[in-house]
């Protein structure tokens, strides 16, 4: 399922997701990834899905949402891997433009040193760049990049992209417990002052991560990051991504398809799933059926129960 949602997004309001990368092809193997462990580490761009198919599926979802009065603030590339690995990305953006909805992408920034990737990203209205670290040891510990990637080239590519991009640029820094951030938060803040994003988001894991030891950073670490980033950018340009985005998931006609398409990229809390079932006039038996069929799995994280589509990347959990 290439298109999913609309789903609630803490950055983007109501977002219709585009899953343009299959489970789970990525240039990173982040310890906190909600999709699970990376199955194929790649850094060479290649085609994955026919752009015409992407347009068709996204167009159908947009039409369904509009018929039901569901708002869509952005069509967002947020797949089961790194979206810029898709060599057809530029063409897909061009095709989706005709749907009349702003376009966003959440990228791990790993390929932004490439000119063709920067050119594709320029076509978006909203670009979110991952910035978990600016020093090699921490980058390798948390993001676990492909061995051929070079952090200095990525950071330089981010700065170069900023010079040309006139849309909304944000960064996202994930903070986790058990990591030594001494001196690193200051270095990230200094880089942010050079990059000058519209907003620097500070995030913590809120859904079950790839590695079971991963926990949200402590309050003092989160607060220290906020103070340092605010000093670099101004307090009004630093925001937390540490709360729950809410339960406003859209029902688009087939509740089983909705559950499986959303949970393939966006693990759902139990209360959110119950709210979606309520909208669909369905009961919990639907979830039990998907669990029994092995299509859905149940996990617990930080005292909450989550439901996720069974993917190979999640079989290690």
Q: DSSP E strands: which ranges in the chain?
A: 3-9, 13-18, 25-26, 40-41, 74-77, 103-107, 126-130, 168-174, 199-203, 238-241, 268-269, 296-301, 304-309
φ, ψ at 215 (rounded to 5°): -135, 155
Task: For residue range 9-60, list pLDDT tens digits in order.
Answer: 877 888 999 999 988 899 999 999 987 788 889 999 999 999 999 999 999 9
Evaluate if residue 111 carries a pLDDT over 90: yes
Q: Is 209 in contact with 36 (CB distance < 8 Å)?
A: no
Q: What is the average per-residue pLDDT within 205-210?
A: 81
Q: Give the pairing of strands 74-77 and 103-107.
A: parallel
Half-sphere exposure of 103 (CA within 13 A, CB side): 20
The C-alpha atoms of residue 183 and residue 273 are separated, in whole angstroms, by 41
Give the N- to C-terminal CA distance of the chain in Å, as an integer: 23
3-state secondary structure of 239: strand
φ, ψ at 278 (rounded to 5°): -60, -45
Q: Where are the domains of the chain?
A: 3-241, 255-314
What is the pTM for the complete model shown? Answer: 0.78
Return the bridge partners of 7, or none: 15
Q: DSSP E strands: which ranges in 187-237?
A: 199-203
Residue 41 is predicted with a pLDDT of 92
Q: What is the average per-residue pLDDT within 224-235?
A: 90
Which is higher by pLDDT, 64 or 104? 104
Evaluate if residue 255 carries a pLDDT over 60: yes
Both tokens of residue 15? 């977002």
CATH of 255-314, one of 1.10.10.10, 1.10.3210.10, 3.30.1370.110, 3.90.550.10: 1.10.10.10
CATH of 3-241, one of 3.40.50.620, 3.20.20.70, 3.30.450.20, 3.40.50.300: 3.20.20.70
The C-alpha atoms of residue 52 and residue 57 are separated, in whole angstroms, by 9
């Amino acid at each position: 399922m290439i298109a999913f949602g609309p789903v609630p997004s803490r950055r983007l309001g109501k977002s219709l997701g585009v899953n343009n990368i299959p489970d789970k092809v990525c240039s990173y193997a982040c310890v906190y990834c909600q999709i699970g462990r990376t199955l194929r580490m790649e850094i060479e761009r290649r085609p994955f899905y026919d752009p015409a198919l992407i347009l068709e599926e996204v167009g159908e979802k947009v039409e369904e949402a509009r018929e039901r009065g569901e708002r869509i603030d952005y069509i967002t590339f947020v797949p089961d891997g790194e979206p810029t690995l898709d060599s057809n990305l530029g063409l897909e953006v061009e095709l989706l433009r005709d749907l009349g909805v702003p376009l966003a992408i959440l990228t791990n920034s790993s390929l932004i040193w490439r000119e063709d990737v920067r050119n594709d990203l320029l076509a978006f209205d909203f670009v979110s760049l991952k910035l978990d670290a600016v020093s090699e040891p921490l980058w390798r510990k948390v993001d676990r990049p492909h061995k051929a990637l070079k952090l200095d080239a990525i950071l330089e590519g981010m700065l170069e992209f900023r010079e040309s991009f006139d849309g909304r640029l944000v960064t996202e820094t994930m903070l986790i417990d058990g990591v030594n951030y001494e001196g690193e938060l200051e270095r990230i803040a200094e880089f942010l002052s050079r990059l000058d994003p519209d907003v620097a988001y500070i995030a913590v894991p809120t859904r079950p991560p790839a590695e079971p030891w991963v926990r949200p950073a402590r309050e003092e670490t989160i607060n220290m990051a906020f103070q340092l980033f605010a000093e670099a950018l101004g307090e009004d340009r630093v925001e937390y991504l540490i709360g729950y985005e809410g339960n406003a998931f859209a029902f688009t006609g087939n509740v089983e398809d909705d559950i499986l398409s959303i949970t393939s990229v966006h693990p759902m809390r139990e209360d959110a799933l119950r709210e979606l079932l309520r909208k669909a006039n369905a009961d919990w038996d639907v979830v039990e059926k998907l669990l029994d069929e092995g299509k859905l799995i149940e996990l617990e994280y930080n005292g909450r129960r989550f439901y996720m589509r069974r993917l190979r990347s999640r079989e290690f959990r």
